[in-house]
Amino acid sequence: MNQILIVEDDDALGRGLTLALGDRYRCTLAPDCAAARQALRETAFDLALFDVNLPDGSGLSLLDEIRADGGPPVILLTANDMETDIVVGLGRGADDYVTKPFSLAVLRARVEAALRRNAPAAAPAVFEQDGFRFDFDRMDFTAAGRPLQLSQTEQRLLRLLIENRGHTLPRETLIDRIWTDGADYVDENALSVTVGRLRRKLGKHAPIKTVYGVGYSWAVQP
């Protein structure tokens, strides 16, 4: 399930957006820039909705901060409907711009479009790197020609790492996407155990990197 960060200081509107999007996406509501920064440190969001006018700063400044580090696609929400405001927002890296008041149906359509445009590249049917060969369609996995027997959970973990190679996936994101049924009840130790098993099967040259306190990544070739 895609993760969406909603940064909105109007409590009623924030709750309304959460309800409107919560049936399809996992939503986190932040009332100001400080809460948004904390949420962004803890979770790899797939999309963010930023109100421009916030009590402790501007959504545009927050946009500048996350664009410096990459960050998720952003849709700006604002009461300003002047053409110059739209140009400024898009010029600073926003993916879309919605003016208040807006239709929730239209916003949902914009959210879906932004997620489609920015969806991570799917793992290729056959992925090869440094002696590893993973055929996800045939479920045929080898390391230096040695066949690997991977469980479905290990295959899901491997595919997520390959799809996001070069980027760190937080532990919470991996748990949510690997154990799609009942993820809320999965002990975090289950992820550590699964990563450990996958590493052992891939061997000592497995490019699975631990980012302590955050999560895991698949290192890309230099």
CATH number at residue 165: 1.10.10.10
Q: What's the mean pLDDT when you consider all of the chain? A: 86
Q: Which pLDDT belongs to residue 198? A: 96
Which of 58-62, 100-104, 109-113 has the weakest average pLDDT? 100-104
Do 94 and 176 have their domain in common? Answer: no
Q: Which pLDDT belongs to residue 143? A: 94
Do 109 and 130 have their domain in common? Answer: no
Do 112 and 157 have their domain in common? Answer: no
What is the helix (H) or strand (E) element at residue 218, kind and residue range? Answer: strand 215-218
What is the helix (H) or strand (E) element at residue 98, kind and residue range? Answer: strand 96-99
Do 213 and 140 have their domain in common? Answer: yes
Contacts 24+ apart (CB under 8 A), 21-26: 21/108, 21/111, 24/108, 25/1, 25/111, 26/1, 26/2, 26/176
Do 112 and 207 have their domain in common? Answer: no
Domain boundary among 86, 117, 148: 117
Q: Judge whether residue 120 has pLDDT over 80.
A: no
Do 105 and 13 have their domain in common? Answer: yes
Q: How many domains does the chain have?
A: 2
Do 134 and 55 have their domain in common? Answer: no
Q: Judge whether residue 159 has pLDDT over 80.
A: yes
Domain boundary among 97, 117, 137: 117
Do 87 and 22 have their domain in common? Answer: yes
Residue 96 belongs to domain spanning: 3-117
Domain boundary among 87, 117, 147: 117
Greatest C-alpha distance within the chain: 62
Q: Is 148 helix (H, G, I), strand (E, B) or coil?
A: strand
Say if pTM beats, i.e. exceeds, 0.75.
no
Binned at pLDDT 50, 70 and 90, residue 182 comes out as very low
